[in-house]
Amino acid sequence: MENLLLTSMEEERRLTERRRVGNLPFDQQMVPGTTLTDLDMNLFRSTYLPSAVASEVLSENLRKVEDQMASLRFLAPDLATPTVAGVLVLGTNPQAWLPGAYLQIVRFDGQDLTDPIKAEQVISGNLITQLQQINNLIPLHIQHRVTPGPGLRYNEQPDYPREALRQITMNAIMHRTYEGTNSPVRINWFADRVEIQNPGGLFGQVTEDNFDRMTDYRNPMVAEAMKALGYVERFGIGIRLARKALAENNNLAPEFTFEPTYVLVTIRSRA
């Protein structure tokens, strides 16, 4: 009965997403109560704009910064109200408006949630800040086994390939729902596995049968921003890149669990 109720709720949420006024995705909607002061204009000029727009175009672009931000869907057409994407990517304090817009990493001393916690980190701020921190933090959690090699050489083998963890984490941030939830993206790092969980079930045309081939975007502007910033190479290949990296490192293939309210990816440590 509980599973049926959750499924019904998720179906209603999907219908609501499709019925939304103007058919705008959630990340393109205005955030009531916000103003231009809630966005980091310097970050937009110094970091985002040069990444998203070619230098020759920028040199000829004499539009006001508000017009530039509106063209990238960070401001509403009124040129005064930030959108959800604007708050997420450039906000001075996104969590004040979208409380679940952060990532939590918990490292356990064992294989269960009840085991002692070795370390816990909360990665917050806007997405530009979060993505930089995540890129730097993931390698720090990876452990290497050193084995004798030919001659006086030694081989270092990581328990997890960095690229696989990075791709799955970026995928979780890109495809999570920010609407109707205060839950963060969670990375639970156990002694034998890493579990990466994002709020929100599969979206749009994506199903359990085609998720590794079909691409559909709950947050199209967030996805575009992550691509512009270089954290996503090409759309739709993250899972394939993760599988390839795991196979090359002799890890098992990732395991996917799809529920109406979340997606969970389990990556097993290399034996």
d(CA 230, CA 37): 26
Question: Does residue 103 register a pLDDT over 50?
Answer: yes
H helix or E strand, kind and range, residue 156: strand 154-158
Question: Does residue 76 register a pLDDT over 50?
Answer: yes
Residue 111's contacts (CB-CB under 8 Å, 6 or more residues apart) are: 190, 191, 192, 193
Contact, 171 vs 237, CB < 8 A?
Answer: no
Query: What structural domains and CATH numbers belong to the chain?
Result: 22-96 (no CATH), 103-268 (3.30.565.60)
Burial environment of residue 215 by CB neighbours within 10 A (0 to 12, 13 to 18, 19 or more):
middle
* pLDDT tens profile 12-69: 655 555 555 457 899 999 999 999 999 999 999 999 999 988 777 666 666 788 999 9
* pLDDT tens profile 223-257: 999 999 999 877 778 999 999 999 999 999 999 99
d(CA 229, CA 172): 17
**Better pLDDT: 212 or 96:** 96
Per-residue confidence (pLDDT) for residue 21, from 0 to 100: 45
Per-residue confidence (pLDDT) for residue 4, from 0 to 100: 52
Structural tokens at position 249: 């490192």
* pLDDT tens profile 175-230: 999 999 999 999 999 999 999 999 999 998 999 999 888 888 999 999 999 999 99
* pLDDT tens profile 149-169: 666 677 778 999 999 999 999
pTM > 0.85: yes
Per-residue confidence (pLDDT) for residue 234, from 0 to 100: 72
